Chains A and B, each alone.
Chain A
Amino acid sequence: MSSRIDRRFAATRAEGRPALVTFLMSGDPDTETSLAIVKALPAAGADLIELGMPFSDPMADGPSIQLSGQRALRAGQTLKKTLAMVRAFREEDDETPIILMGYYNPIYSWGNESFLDDAREAGVDGLIIVDLPPEADDELCIPAMSRGINFIRLAAPTTDDRRLPAVLANTSGFVYYVSILGVTGSAAPDTTKVAEAVTRIKRHTILPVAVGFGVRTAEQAAAIGRTADGVVVGSALVNAVRDSLDADGRATEQTVPAVSALVAELAAGVRAARAEAAE
């Protein structure tokens, strides 16, 4: 079964370049501005959209994404509003994949089956749930797959060759390689090590491998994109949101353009990735 995610990676592969995967927190700094930011992403050069579902206790996130989630929650964001944003986005764009990323409890609280039905209906293509390892596949991963929603698994530097098959078993869409030991946005990844890891993962799967956690600049995106099929940028983008806000933390007319401008830079980076390598 071909999904929006499959089709998008096939397209970027055909173009001979890695995909740019952008992460932003839904509802940051408020639902309306957040939707405007997301709507502007494809034109700015984002190939896939990861939309964070804010959670009170983001254990795998560094300060940038923690604060972004807090801004969203303070502005009243809920999982229901996040799905409404996806629905609104889908009215105008039926091609760009949307992946919801976050933690399990808000979904569990909603009710797994009914959440998956609603997410599918809203136009969600994939889920990345940080605190659901393969040992918990019966919780959400299997029911998501049965509805045609891709369940994208994180692989980490600690995921060795022995464990990798278990991690990849029920993964679909793509594999998300966590490029560093640490929380999101903490350290710059070592591109040589990342390339080795991507090669190692590709020995086990035909799925595209995207790399994230710590990628901030167009140069880093280009370097990682030489081997990876996708580059995920998150903390740098939510920092662009933060830096555009007024003294009271409200959106300004700079908010949407600031994010779009950074996405455009990163998009140029991934487009240069293989071109530079070929020179």
Chain B
Amino acid sequence: MTALPNTMRGGPDDRGFFGLYGGRFVAETLMPLILELEAAYEAAKADPAYRAELDSLNTHYAGRPSPLYFAERLTEELGGARVYFKRDELNHTGSHKINNCLGQILLARRMGKTRIIAETGAGQHGVATATVAARFGLPCVVYMGATDVERQKPNVFRMRLLGAEIVPVTAGAGTLKDAMNEALRDWVTNVEDTYYLIGTAAGPHPYPEMVRDFQSVIGAEAREQMLDTEGRLPDAIVACIGGGSNAIGLFHPFLDDKDVAIYGIEAGGHGLDVENGHAASMTGGRPGVLHGNRTYLLQDDDGQILEGHSISAGLDYPGVGPEHSWLRDTGRVTYVPATDREALDAFQMLTRLEGIIPALEPAHALAHVIKLAPQMDKDQIILMNLCGRGDKDVFTVASALGMDI
């Protein structure tokens, strides 16, 4: 490991790399578009009018800032550190995904694009994309793995209500990575008018940086709210990781706060010892190149990408955003898995103790909080990103618990 830089928040470099990770590994047809997107994003960032419009939409449309909530009964039950939630599940559309979609749709409009495409796993990003496309009157096509279409019916219906066209993808295992392949194929075919609205902090540069910037509102607000409420920073912050957009959004504003321990929770599925039974790309994979960036990937000996498994459709991506890979190697963030079972237990615990039904994705983060809090002192603080609500998961949970609804 090389010496850490003075700031952990300076990446990526001008070629889109966070250390070894990131970059722009795309077909030549897309390369000019990626460069155009980068230039457009740089220009938008420097434009106060763009910023003002985004801030206004965040406030009046998405409902930001989201509350910081002290989970009193959960804290009591765990008997250790004080547990706070950043309530991004209260945003419009029910997850953190809207933060990024609003930023990108304004960018698409600035670029004169007239058609929006997106990939989605759990459907949270698809719903958020369909929502902003409706709000701005742009046609929207969402690629979704056929398996996910089946297990996320409520979100599929919401997207259709919002006017989006859903294209079920049957290639591969019919999950998020296959949806992303198909979205990239659409983009390469419709380069002139189409904007690809990527939902996670992965893909070719500048997507990982751009998505992180839009999601960093989570960490920036939470940091300020924590200082207001407790007069100090938390001792530990925790978020779940699929591609890692909610996590990088929470983590990034805290990266230079050296006394804040940071935990990213991957999908441990049936357990890391079960072949193809988890989606923990950092604890169970190795670096490779997929979907335009170099990052930790689940892959076999021949470099073929594995499917990955998680009870949560939002976490079963076999890769992870490149900045997370870099944060892993530098040791700044500790990445650990939580299993399907642990996430289900956490889901039920939160529902009963706090009257909050979490999505299965942040239930993974909560599973780690449940392990961590009791090991900490009562005057210590844990902050967790509650990045999505669980309405979409009730069928999955019912089936996992053997209940009929």
Contacts and interface: CB of A to CB of B under 8 A. Distances in A.
Interface in A204-262: none
B172 A59 contact: no
Interface in B176-212: 177-178, 181, 184-185, 188-192
Interface in B205-230: none
B92 to A, nearest CB: 32
B25 interface: yes
A264 interface: no
Contacts of A109: 288, 299, 301-303
Interface string A101-126: 00111111110000000000000000
B304 A156 contact: no
A181 interface: yes
Which secondary structure dominates where chain A touches chain B? loop
A135 B32 contact: no
A103 B291 CA distance: 11
A156 to B, nearest CB: 4
Interface in B260-290: 287-290
A186 interface: yes
A197 to B, nearest CB: 13
Contacts of A130: 27
Contacts of B294: 108
A91 to B, nearest CB: 24
Interface string B292-307: 1010010101111100
Nearest to A58: B181
B33 interface: yes
Given A66-B171, A186-B189, A55 B28 contact: no
Interface residues of A, number: 41
Contact of B289 (A56, A62, A108, A153): A108
Contacts of B172: 56-57
B305 A56 contact: yes
Interface string B26-59: 1111111100000000000000000000000000
Nearest to B177: A57
A133 B305 CA distance: 21
B140 to A, nearest CB: 20
Given A59-B184, A106-B302, A160-B32, A136 B23 contact: yes
B233 to A, nearest CB: 39
B28 A156 contact: yes
A104 B25 contact: yes
B304 A158 contact: no
Contacts of B33: 158
A128 to B, nearest CB: 11
A7 to B, nearest CB: 26
Given A57-B177, A136-B23, A178 B302 contact: no
Contacts of A110: 303
B32 A158 contact: yes
Of residues B25, B171, B291, which shows the largest number of chain A Cβ atoms within 10 Å of its Cβ?
A: B25
Interface string B243-273: 0000000000000000000000000000000
Contact of A78 (B15, B177, B288, B302): B302
Nearest to B286: A109
A60 B302 contact: no
Given A131-B25, A131-B27, 18 more contacts: A57-B290, A57-B305, A59-B184, A59-B188, A79-B302, A80-B302, A104-B289, A105-B290, A105-B299, A105-B303, A106-B304, A107-B303, A108-B289, A135-B23, A135-B24, A158-B191, A167-B28, A182-B188
Interface of B: 15, 23-33, 171-172, 177-178, 181, 184-185, 188-192, 287-292, 294, 297, 299, 301-305
Interface of A: 55-60, 62, 66, 73, 78-80, 103-110, 130-133, 135-136, 153-160, 163, 167, 178, 181-183, 186
Please list the 6 inter-chain residue pairs (A to B) with the smallest Cβ-Cβ separation, ordered nearest first: A109-B303, A106-B303, A156-B29, A182-B189, A56-B304, A78-B302
